[in-house]
Structure 1
Amino acid sequence: MEALAVRLSGLDPYVDGAIRIVAFYDTLMRRRVDLPALARASAALAECVAGIRLHGTGRTIRFSPGGTGAADPPAPASSTMPVSLDEEEFGTVWLERPDGPLQLDEVLLERLALAVAAVVERYGPAPTTLADPALVELVISSRSEEPARARALRLLGFAPDRPVRVVAVRSRLPLDRIGALICPGRPVKAAPLGDVGAILATTVDPDRFPAGVRAGIGAAGSPDRCWQEARTALRFTGPREPVRHHADLGALALLAEIPEAVARENADVAAIARLVGDPEDLETLDAYCATGSLRRAADLLHLHHSSVARRVEQIGRALGIDLTAPAGLTRARLALGVWRLLDH
């Protein structure tokens, strides 16, 4: 192999330079250097400032050619290269060359990016959003002991002194994409657990969930209780409220404690279940229960309020409930909520 390299380098000065760069980084990796050492060596090789940034932690490392930390503010990057692992970008490397990029800068940055990915994978938590389901389950299981839970959190990249929010998700979209959207630029991990996806994040932006996703967000301080709350909140989601916070459910969360057999035997819930065969009636009842007003329900359904009034009257007769009375509307709301829990 070395003989071939020597022959190639004799044919083309560019090849000679590229081979020397590859050998340079191979030597660094055999010495098991860390990220600052990689940035320092790269700056010396390139004879300009070299930088490394990890998106998840916000960590930035910059060194000057003299081997010292580069002064702020940073100069514009003359060339950059993304750092990826398992096809997910998690960082960037760059050079700050005042007179613009040189011919071999792309080769140098490519090798630097590969070296950074190898160092982070070897010594740090996996930077990708998708995580080992076993680790995630260890964090959120009520049967886990606290030392094991704390160790799993550290392995996933979460600081022990920072709270972790838990989200239960149902979606056809990839979990890693959802996690990156709702918690950009901060630690976030996701894993499928049976029929539900679990997302662990330091913060959650509920407005960033993409369309078509159902999500329940827990509120408890401990991850195991937060997961249970997230699962409960997920059961209360629907077309009009695809994302629910457990903290916003209040006393409604008690409905989730009703045994399934008892709920199905309830006359009001059974009557709601019979409406499933008529999606138009079910949608009308849902809009009316959500608004408590014929006119506001008509606005949601894009119908005249008199048409909605006729539908509500017919639905009330089918249910055996006077939906125009406050008590009847409360019964319908509770029955619809319990039916949704059973449907989930």
Structure 2
Amino acid sequence: MEALAVRLSGLDPYVGGAIRVVAFYDTLMRRRVDLPALARASAGLAECVAGIRVHGTGRSIRVSPDGRDAIAPPAPATTTVPIVLDEEEIGTVWLERGGAVNQLDDVLLDRLALAAAAAVERYGPARTTMADPALVELAIGADTDEAARARALRLLGFAADVPVRVVAVRSRVPLDRIGGLVCPARPVKAAPLADVGVILATTVDAARFPADVRAGIGAADSPDRSWREARTALRFTTPREPVVRHADLGALALLAEVPQEASRDNADVAGIARVAGSPEDLETLDTYCATGSLRRAADLLHLHHSSVARRVEQIGRTLDIDLTDPTGLTRARLALTAWRLLTD
């Protein structure tokens, strides 16, 4: 190849240079270098800043000709080429030459894009928790075809044969921190979608969620179904139970399917709305429903047993339900849950 390049360069310097560029990247691909190494090699070859961005990570790699990370503000890209894998654009490569374009820049970037696609397919995206929201939405979307979903999951770093669990989160805690805590072994990816945070992980340790985090956990099934389950489970979270697995809801999950108008028109739910006008009464009812015991509720509320008994009796009259009867207690629990779903 080198001998051929020398002969051709005597006839056409551009052809000789192009062959050397192709051989340069063929060598890098045979050595199975990763994205940072590709960027460093390309910056040295081009003698200007070279950049690589993979949509699945949302992170850009910019390297100066000296092999160090480029710290200067990005200059306008002189030349840009998409990274394509399985006929889908998954990222971009570019050069920041800042002057006249070199005639070999197009060849260099074409080969860099091919090498970058091979590196992503081999190694997956960088080990970062935050991901491109558009790619996450594609992975969990109900209308996504299975081929596109599989590509999105692969670009996010998930193997095709590993089930992915989806978590819906509401919290002021950064999503990358939450993801790292609940799935420290990785892979785990997170992104904000509208007012809900989304975490995709192979395993989720529900006990490791930080305080003040509300989270609904879907089953490790297809990502779109897991996402629907996670959003439903999130609606059932409370200050007392901030993390809910959809699998643990059982028949309670059916309450999320009840039309809101039907819930509002229900006498028991309307009664809970009246009780909610008093935060003290609502807390008492919630604690009593959770424990099913006046004495246990009194312990949790730090009140005397007789005080809680009087409150429960008064709340029962407001609801027109005998809260000391098992059936009445079940009605109150269901009505309280249905009312919370209305106020979610």
Q: Structure 2 length normalisation: TM-score? A: 0.66
Q: Which amino acid aligns with 1:307?
A: S
Secondary structure class of the residue paired with 1:312: helix
Task: Determine the structure 2 residue equivalent to 1:159.
Answer: 159
- The answer to whether structure 1 residue 316 and structure 2 residue 316 are counterparts is yes
CA distance in 2, matches of 1:31, 1:331: 68
Q: Deviations over 1:242-277 (max 9, x none)?
A: 000111111111111100111111111111112222
- Which deviates further from its counterpart, 254-263 or 272-281? 272-281
1:127-158 deviations in Å (ceiling 9; x for gaps): 22111111111111111110000000000000
- Distance across 2 between alignment mates of 1:272 and 1:184: 41
Matched residue, 1:218: 218
Q: How far has the Cα of 1:36 moved from its partner? A: 8.1
**Structure 1 residue 183, shift from structure 2 partner:** 0.4
Pair 1:306–1:186, CA change in 2 (3 A): same
Q: Report the counterpart of residue 145 of structure 2 in structure 1.
A: 145
Counterpart for residue 237 of structure 1: 237
Aligned-residue Cα RMSD (Å) equals: 3.1
Q: Measure, in 2, the Cα distance between the counterparts of 1:236 and 1:213.
A: 13
Alpha-carbon contact 1:120-1:126 (below 8 Å) kept: no
Alpha-carbon distance between aligned partners in 2 of 1:249 and 1:174, rounded to the nearest angstrom: 27
Q: 2 CA distance for matches of 1:111 and 1:236?
A: 49
Long gaps (5+) in structure 1: 1-26, 40-84, 88-109
Contact 2:164 2:220 in 1 (8 A): no
**Are the equivalent residues in 1 in contact too, given 2:163–2:220 (CA < 8 A)?**
no
The unaligned stretches of length 5 or more in structure 2 are 1-23, 38-57, 61-66, 72-92, 94-114
Change (3 A) 1:167 1:37: closer
Q: Identity, % of aligned pairs? A: 72
Specify whether residues 326 and 34 from structure 1 end up closer, same or farther in structure 2 by C-alpha distance, changes over 3 A only: same
Aligned partners of 1:340, 1:232: CA distance in 2, in Å? Answer: 12
Distance 1:342 1:38, change over 3 A: closer
Match of 2:279 in 1: 279
Please list, as runs of the form range in 1=range in 2, the aligned pairs for 1:42-57 lying within 5 A after superposition: none
The question of whether the paired residues in 2 share the 8 Å contact of 1:220 and 1:229 is answered with: no
Task: Kindly indicate whether residue 203 of structure 2 is the aligned counterpart of residue 209 of structure 1.
Answer: no
**Aligned counterparts of 1:141 and 1:304: Cα–Cα separation in 2:** 51
- The 3 A distance-change label for structure 1 pair 222 and 31 is closer
Matched-pair contact (CA < 8 Å) for 2:233–2:246:
yes
The DSSP-based 3-state class of the residue aligned with 1:191 is strand
Give the deviation of 1:126 after TM superposition.
Answer: 3.4
8 Å CA contact 2:35–2:116 kept in 1: the answer is no
Is contact 1:255–1:338 with CA below 8 Å preserved after alignment? Answer: yes
Which amino acid is the alignment partner of residue 318 of structure 1? Answer: T
Task: Flag as ranges the 4+ runs of structure 1 deviating above 6 A.
Answer: 36-39, 118-122
Distance 1:252 1:265 in 2: 19
Q: For residues 52-131 of structure 1, what are the structure 2 equivalents within 5 Å?
A: 123=120, 124-131=124-131
* Counterpart Cα distance in 1 of 2:312 and 2:264: 23
Query: What one-letter code is carried by the residue in structure 1 that aligns with 2:211?
Result: A
In structure 1, the residue matched to 2:258 is 258
What is the CA deviation profile of residues 54-104 of structure 1, one whole-angstrom value per residue up to 9, with x for unaligned ones? xxxxxxxxxxxxxxxxxxxxxxxxxxxxxxx969xxxxxxxxxxxxxxxxx
Q: 3-state SS of the aligned residue for 2:204?
A: coil
Deviations 1:279-334 (A, max 9, x none): 11101000000011101111211212111111101111111111111111111000
Paired residue secondary structure (2:167): strand
Cα separation, 2, equivalents of 1:37 and 1:265: 59
Q: For residue 315 of structure 1, give the secondary structure of its aligned residue in structure 2.
A: helix
**Residues 38, 289 of structure 1: alpha-carbon distance in 2 compared, 3 angstrom cutoff:** closer
SS in 2 for 1:277: coil
CA distance in 2, matches of 1:302, 1:244: 26
* Equivalent residue number for residue 246 of structure 1: 246
Q: C-alpha separation between the residues in 2 aligned to 1:289 and 1:327?
A: 12
Structure 2 CA distance for aligned equivalents of residues 141 and 275 of structure 1 = 39
